[in-house]
Amino acid sequence: MRILVVGGGIAGATLAVALRQAGFDPLVAEARHSRAALGGAFLTLAPNGVNALRAIGLGDVPSAAEGFEVSGLDMHNARGRRIAELAGEHDLDRYGARGVVLRRARLHAELTRRAQAAGARYRFGARLVDLRHHAAGVTAVFADDETVEVDAVIGADGIWSTVRRLTWPDAPRPRYTGIVDCGGWTTVDLPDTSRQQMYFGHRAFFGYVVRDSLAYWFTNVPRRDEPERTEFDNLDHQDWMTRIRELHADDPAPIRAVLGAANRSLGAWPLYDLPDLPAWHTSTVCLVGDAAHAVSPSTGQGASLAIEDAVVLARHLGTGRRPETAFAGFVAERKSRAEKIVRFGRQIGDRKASSAAGNLFRDLTLGFFLRMGAKAAREQYAYRVPQRPESPYGPGATRA
Ligand SMILES: Cc1cc2nc3c(=O)[nH]c(=O)nc-3n(C[C@H](O)[C@H](O)[C@H](O)COP(=O)(O)OP(=O)(O)OC[C@H]3O[C@@H](n4cnc5c(N)ncnc54)[C@H](O)[C@@H]3O)c2cc1C
């Protein structure tokens, strides 16, 4: 089977490794021009994501990518009082792994290196622009007019997926969440934090974690109207940081210490998630990762779900069934889990956005909401990629 993976992000690179292990010779087409150009800030790999990497022998990737383990989080209100916690001390016993904080570029580069070492073919600078379906398969057309003939196309091309748009022109578009995210890392004079520290600040939500005097921080700036796609392309970092410091001027001391030390944010990113899609596959095309189910970063599950998808899809394709059957099995196994996490992320995002209003009702119900959130997180972490694909049409399975 000739397989084209469109997009060499976290899902695409992991899928390339898993497909090589299953005996395929995939081609990965990545729009960016080189491995070095694959950027981003930082992200958390949850215990379920670490376990999914282990399932394909990539358990050492987080440490090779210089990630550090963090278990649990403390949630504070605007006065600095801890109002909820997600204890992480027993994560290793409970889930067999701890969460890991990683710079996205390092994780991405390491996964790409593993995929290439496993023999996956890559084409950088290959932006897919069209898919032409015919009796013998699919012709993929790229922006430079190059074409590739394949039997199956996997759309691993992220939240603004071209594969999705070409295959389902009427599919819902990504939904703006009302938040502009920004952050980075900076040297600070603060002790290490064993847990992630989160604050519902007076005007914006803030999170940070410190390891070896380096604080990894982010803030969620509420912004009701959807920004233009290019609005933050040429960010004036000085202006932007002044604005961020003003937003958090009345918030607890650790936030002010981190922002006082930070002289720039790595960028400003309007946050989107993806409403449930009616379908993730056809007989020749299948979506994975953010292309299928982009979650808000508030869940800490985007990369973990992408990795789970890659492992599960390669297992289904590895059974040697027709692509359509393998795709249906994959979707039956993955869709409801991923979409539940998208909804969970939306609820958290709405709470964060309402933070700006100093909403009394929110403050009163926050404790209950956070306890529910902790329960959902435990369920998410406990997931293990099944070792063998279940029957694609087993109990409860639906053809998408
Ligand atoms: C540049 C970048 C920075 C990010 N930074 C962060 C971050 O700081 N924190 C965080 O939590 N998440 C970040 N994310 C999102 C996070 O990586 C994903 O949510 C998650 O890892 C899911 O991975 P994915 O492979 O499905 O999608 P992505 O990681 O988004 O990968 C999609 C890939 O497809 C490629 N692509 C897109 N369109 C085409 C096309 N037409 N033809 C060929 N290739 C195409 C993109 O260049 C990209 O490499 C970032 C994503 C990107 C692309």
Q: What CATH number is given to the structural domain containing 105? A: 3.50.50.60
* Å from CA of 161 to ligand 1 middle: 10
SS3 245: helix
Domain total for the chain?
1
Has residue 221 got a pLDDT over 80? yes
Has residue 390 got a pLDDT over 50? no
Residues 6+ apart with CB under 8 A from 24: 1, 3, 314, 317, 318
pLDDT of residue 389: 46
Q: Are 198 and 76 in contact (CB under 8 A)?
A: yes
pLDDT of residue 297: 86
With a 6 Å cutoff on the Cβ, whether 254 touches ligand 1 is no
Quick one: which of 381, 200, 184, 164 has its CA closest to 291?
164
Give residue 231's pLDDT band: very low, low, confident or very high (50, 70, 90): confident
Tokens for 72, please give them.
């649990």
Atom of ligand 1 nearest to the CA of 288: 26
Nearest residue (CA) to ligand 1, atom 20: 303
3-6 vs 152-155, strand pairing mode: parallel
Tens of pLDDT, residue by residue over 82-105, are 888 888 888 999 999 999 999 999
With a 6 Å cutoff on the Cβ, whether 101 touches ligand 1 is no
Residue 4 per-residue DSSP state: E
SS3 74: strand
Residue 161 included in any domain: yes
With a 6 Å cutoff on the Cβ, whether 162 touches ligand 1 is yes
In angstroms, the Cα distances linking 160 to 166, 194, 289, 293, 348 are 11, 35, 11, 11, 22
Greater model confidence, 296 or 256:
256
Of 4, 17, 28, 43, which is best to mutate to test ligand 1, by the most ligand atoms within 8 angstroms of its C-beta? 43
With a 6 Å cutoff on the Cβ, whether 16 touches ligand 1 is no
Has residue 216 got a pLDDT over 50? yes
SS3 315: helix
Residue 61 included in any domain: yes
Residues 6+ apart with CB under 8 A from 120: 16, 17, 19, 20, 26, 27, 28
% of the chain at pLDDT higher than 70? 91
pLDDT, average across residues 45-59: 96
* Å from CA of 212 to ligand 1 middle: 28
pLDDT of residue 393: 33
pLDDT, average across residues 111-133: 97
Residues 6+ apart with CB under 8 A from 314: 15, 18, 19, 21, 22, 24, 56
Greater model confidence, 233 or 163:
163
Domain of residue 65, residue span: 3-69+100-174+275-355
Instruction: Cite the DSSP H helix spans in the chain.
Output: 10-21, 47-55, 61-64, 91-95, 104-117, 162-167, 237-247, 253-261, 290-293, 302-317, 323-354, 360-382
* Å from CA of 157 to ligand 1 middle: 7
* Å from CA of 38 to ligand 1 middle: 8
Is the alpha carbon torsion for 175, 177, 180, 183 positive or negative? negative
SS3 129: strand
Residue 329 included in any domain: yes
Q: Are 214 and 71 in contact (CB under 8 A)?
A: no
pLDDT of residue 255: 97
Tens of pLDDT, residue by residue over 254-270, are 999 999 999 877 888 99
* Å from CA of 158 to ligand 1 middle: 5
Tens of pLDDT, residue by residue over 281-292, are 999 999 999 999
With a 6 Å cutoff on the Cβ, whether 184 touches ligand 1 is no
* Å from CA of 392 to ligand 1 middle: 28
With a 6 Å cutoff on the Cβ, whether 140 touches ligand 1 is no
With a 6 Å cutoff on the Cβ, whether 137 touches ligand 1 is no
Q: Are 143 and 176 in contact (CB under 8 A)?
A: no
pLDDT, average across residues 300-313: 96
Residue 362 included in any domain: no
Has residue 391 got a pLDDT over 80? no
* Å from CA of 44 to ligand 1 middle: 14
Can you count the helices (H) and strands (E) in the chain? 12, 18
Q: Cβ atoms within 10 A of the Cβ of 305, count?
A: 30
Residue 376 included in any domain: no
How far is 219 from 204, CA to CA, in rounded Å? 7
Give residue 371's pLDDT band: very low, low, confident or very high (50, 70, 90): confident
Residue 370 included in any domain: no
Q: Are 121 and 27 in contact (CB under 8 A)?
A: yes
* Å from CA of 159 to ligand 1 middle: 7
* Å from CA of 89 to ligand 1 middle: 31
Residue 391 per-residue DSSP state: P
Residue 27 included in any domain: yes
Question: pTM of the entire structure?
Answer: 0.93
With a 6 Å cutoff on the Cβ, whether 7 touches ligand 1 is yes
- Amino acid in position 59: G
How far is 346 from 352, CA to CA, in rounded Å? 10
* Å from CA of 9 to ligand 1 middle: 5
Has residue 353 got a pLDDT over 90? no
Atom of ligand 1 nearest to the CA of 44: 11
Of 4, 14, 17, 30, which is best to mutate to test ligand 1, by the most ligand atoms within 8 angstroms of its C-beta? 30
pLDDT, average across residues 161-168: 98
Residue 323 included in any domain: yes
